[in-house]
Amino acid sequence: MNNNIKGNANLKSPSGDLGVLIDGKAISDQVKQEIAAEVEAMVAAGKRRPHLAVIIVGHDGGSETYVAHKVKSCEQVGFTSTKIALEADVTEAELLAKIDQLNKNPELDGFIVQLPLPKHISEQKVIEAIDYRKDVDGFHPINVGRMSIGLPCYVSATPSGIIELLKRYEIPTVGKKCVVIGRSNIVGKPVASLMMQKGYPGDATVTVCHSRTSNLKKICLEADIIIAALGQPEFLTGDMVKPGAVIIDVGTTRVPSATTKSGFRLSGDVKFDEVAPKCSYITPVPGGVGPMTIVSLLKNTLLAAKGEVY
């Protein structure tokens, strides 16, 4: 355990063993401070501040909140940010023309197009239109492909955030059995790929489970590390977890709640009350993987500004 990490809470379990609550908020604050220090050093050396642009299309409430957080986080670390808001009826051609403009703008280190997009716009076409050298989301096939063969690239936010948490908590991965539940392009597949790569944090023996997997419980019970990323609230229950396992919960499903002002709360893919007493480390929802995702975007933008990837 890295004792420099503030805000750790030990979990109490009936057996008296103590697991560690992985504090994604504390780590994200720590990484933001590191990024801010680098930015100030760049500026002191006469360089311009890293510059991220975010395109948002339409008025989806969730997307507007995410984008507001991204813009605020840029401010916190001293980046320049530009928000480009387009109406929901923007045509695909107009959006692609805007992307072309940003691709060619030398004042911009990286940019993202917030997803999901309205139905009349092809997300894949949009992702592939972004110059991979400015694709700080890491969604372009060139970045995905380079990641999978271990070349320098922009790694997408959630997998990168998970890896950073494992690293900062010095959680052993080498030779460990890691089960990933979920096979999405933005979490399951890339995090499986990173966990099996040579070196730490990697060198794990990875099994990817999904909706058609048989014997899921048996497979999970053998796991030293479980990464739950299927988007099904409280799917992973206590009887599916080996004592001492490390649990990473990627779920963030909005479920109705009578006790919150907004009328909903975020639910993870892990039944926390059952699983937490059995495991050695666990990420809470909210406050685990979530805060790390924006930090990963900031890290990619800093790398882009420094020209360290391409």
Determine whether 131 is an active site residue.
Answer: no
Measured from the CB atom, is 2 or 101 closer to ligand GUN?
101
Window of 98-106, 109-117, 191-199, 209-217 that interacts with ligand GUN by CB under 6 A: 109-117
Rounded least distance, CB 157 to ligand GUN, Å: 5
Rounded least distance, CB 177 to ligand GUN, Å: 28
Please tell me which residue in 114, 134, 189, 299 is annotated as part of the active site: 114
Of residues 20-59, those binding ligand GUN (CB under 6 A): none
Which of 20, 57, 112, 209 contacts ligand GUN by CB under 6 A? 112
Closest-CB residue for ligand GUN?
115
Measured from the CB atom, is 112 or 275 closer to ligand GUN?
112
Determine whether 137 is an active site residue.
Answer: yes
Q: Using CA atoms, how far apart are residues 154 and 299, in angstroms rounded to an integer? A: 9
The reply to whether 137 sits near ligand GUN by the rule CB under 6 A is yes
Rounded least distance, CB 116 to ligand GUN, Å: 7
Please tell me which residue in 135, 137, 249, 269 is annotated as part of the active site: 137
Measured from the CB atom, is 56 or 181 closer to ligand GUN?
56
Window of 9-17, 108-116, 142-150, 177-185 that interacts with ligand GUN by CB under 6 A: 108-116
Question: Are the CB atoms for 116 and 127 separated by under 8 Å?
Answer: no
The reply to whether 115 sits near ligand GUN by the rule CB under 6 A is yes
Determine whether 218 is an active site residue.
Answer: no
Question: Are the CB atoms for 181 and 206 separated by under 8 Å?
Answer: no
Window of 27-35, 106-114, 210-218, 302-310 that interacts with ligand GUN by CB under 6 A: 106-114
Please tell me which residue in 32, 70, 98, 278 is annotated as part of the active site: 70
Query: Nearest to residue 304, comparing CAs of 148, 114, 133?
Result: 133
Which of 52, 157, 195, 220 contacts ligand GUN by CB under 6 A? 157
DSSP letter for each residue of 98-144: HHHHHHT-TT-SEEEE-S---TTS-HHHHHHHS-GGGBTT--SHHHH
How many residues bind to ligand GUN according to rule CB under 6 A?
A: 6
Which of 28, 73, 114, 300 contacts ligand GUN by CB under 6 A? 114
Rounded least distance, CB 86 to ligand GUN, Å: 14
Rounded least distance, CB 288 to ligand GUN, Å: 16
Which residues contribute to the site for ligand GUN (CB under 6 A)? Answer: 112-115, 137, 157
Catalytic site positions = 70, 114, 137
